Amino acid sequence: MVHLVIFVNGKKKTSTDDGVTNPMTDDEIAGRAGLTGDTARKGEDGPVGDPLSGSVPIKNGEHFVVRRRNFEGGCQ
């Protein structure tokens, strides 16, 4: 097994400790940030689109940004 290291939202994730594989589905990458492909989107800017789907080849040292698609909350 090849030892892989990626960064998800700035936090280091490794193949041995965090289940990083090659390739990974978008849902698996979102899971490293505590989300699912249905509740997340990649990137910081741009419109919120369809739920994440598909898979991507993983390169050692790659950085991913995963954000929640919907924000809920209020003000008191």
Q: Are strands 63-64 and 5-8 parallel, antiparallel or unpaired?
A: parallel
- Enter the pTM of the model: 0.74
- Quote the CA–CA distance of 3 and 54 in Å, as a whole number: 23
Whether the Cβ atoms of residue 8 and residue 62 lie closer than 8 Å to each other: no
Angle, CA 42 vertex, CA 40 and CA 45 arms, to 5°: 110
What pLDDT, in 10s, does the model give residues 31-68?
Answer: 998 888 777 776 655 444 555 677 888 899 988 888 87
Tokens representing residue 8 in the block: 């998800």
Q: Sketch the domain layout of the chain as residue ranges.
A: 5-68
Whether the Cβ atoms of residue 14 and residue 4 lie closer than 8 Å to each other: yes
